[in-house]
């Protein structure tokens, strides 16, 4: 069997001694889009943070590999260098740090010495053009005074500049209006159409199915109480839109 993909096997994770993830099995293939849905408190964000190495999340069992590399044995910065990207639900503001400087530092950290400052700026302007962003954005301080939509635009730009192998978008649709949500969807679509982006695997974590109106998922998973209880195609998200999570919760209880 190929070792390609973001491969999560029987993953268990605890927070302050409380078990949150109770055996997660999931494979995100290169170039595919997986959606992970579930009600609040089901463990979706815990999965995202545990993959990226947040110190408050303790892995108690299972494995996670990225194209054959053991993620759990790497420090958080090494996981990013291996090709893993996390889009935060609530990005932090850093007054005094300009967007352009932050993006250059991030690129240098993940892919040190690959581009000169001049070539990096050319890449940055190219990606901004693809995403329909005004170059004046680069002179602003990182997320300082940004609207929710602007913060998401910056994360899409960061993802485009870093060119990860696998991107985990954690509640990217949280707090966004209709226009901002469409922008995120269009941005992911634009990135996926680029030569580099065609190989990127996406794990989109969301509570509501509305973002999937703009990003077509190949596979949809439903998580409840720290476990993936159902997997299906795009129609599964449409069913959740119609019926909510109660029907799936009842089906899960009946199988137990």
Residue 148 confidence (pLDDT): 79
Among 12-26, 144-158, 163-177, 206-220, the least confident range? 163-177
The fraction of the chain above a pLDDT of 90, given in percent, is 59
Report the b/e string of 98-131 with b at 16+ CB within 10 A: ebbebbbeebeebeeeebeeeebbebbeebbebb
CA distance 116 to 104: 10
Domain 6-251 adopts which CATH fold? Rossmann fold (3.40.50)
What pLDDT was estimated at residue 197? 65
The alpha-carbon radius of gyration of the chain (Å, integer) is: 18
pLDDT at 56: 93
Average pLDDT on 146-153 reads: 84
Q: Among 36-50, 166-180, 195-209, which is the least confidently predicted range?
A: 166-180
Is residue 20 a contact partner of residue 46, using CB atoms and an 8 Å limit? yes
Average pLDDT over residues 150-158: 87
Global pTM? 0.91
pLDDT in tens, 35-61: 999 998 999 999 999 999 999 999 999
pLDDT on residue 149: 80
Residue among 33, 85, 45 at smallest CA distance from 214: 33
In this predicted structure, what is the pLDDT of residue 209? 82
Lowest mean pLDDT among 35-49, 186-200, 205-219: 186-200
Nearest of 34, 86, 88 to residue 215 by alpha carbon = 34
Q: Where are the domains of the chain?
A: 6-251
3-state secondary structure of 163: coil
> Do 201 and 30 touch, CB atoms closer than 8 A?
yes
2: which residues sit within 8 A by CB, 6+ positions away?
Answer: none
Mean pLDDT of 179-185: 80
- The tokens for 187 are 């941005």
pLDDT in tens, 90-125: 778 899 999 999 999 999 988 888 889 999 999 999
């Amino acid at each position: 069997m190929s070792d390609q993909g973001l491969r999560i096997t029987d993953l268990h994770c605890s927070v302050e001694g409380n078990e949150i993830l109770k055996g997660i099995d999931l494979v995100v293939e290169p170039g595919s889009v997986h959606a992970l849905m579930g009600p609040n408190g089901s463990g979706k964000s815990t999965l995202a943070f545990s993959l990226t190495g947040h110190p408050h999340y303790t892995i108690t069992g299972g494995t996670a590999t990225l194209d054959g590399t053991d993620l759990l044995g790497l420090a958080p910065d090494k996981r990013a260098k291996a090709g893993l990207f996390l889009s935060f639900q609530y990005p932090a503001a850093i007054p005094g740090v300009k967007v352009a400087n932050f993006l250059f530092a991030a690129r240098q950290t993940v892919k040190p010495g690959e581009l000169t400052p001049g070539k990096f700026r050319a890449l940055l302007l190219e990606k901004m053009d693809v995403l329909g962003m005004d170059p004046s954005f680069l002179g602003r301080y990182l997320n300082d005074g940004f609207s929710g939509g602007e913060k998401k635009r910056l994360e899409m730009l960061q993802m485009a500049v870093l060119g990860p192998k696998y991107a985990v978008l954690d509640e990217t649709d949280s707090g966004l209006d209709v226009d901002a949500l469409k922008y995120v969807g269009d941005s992911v679509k634009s990135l996926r159409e680029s030569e580099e982006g065609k190989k990127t695997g996406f794990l989109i974590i969301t509570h509501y199915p509305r973002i999937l109106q703009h990003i077509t998922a190949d596979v949809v998973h439903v998580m409840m109480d720290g476990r993936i209880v159902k997997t299906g195609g795009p129609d599964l998200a449409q069913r959740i839109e119609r019926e909510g999570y109660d029907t799936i919760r009842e089906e899960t209880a009946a199988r137990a």
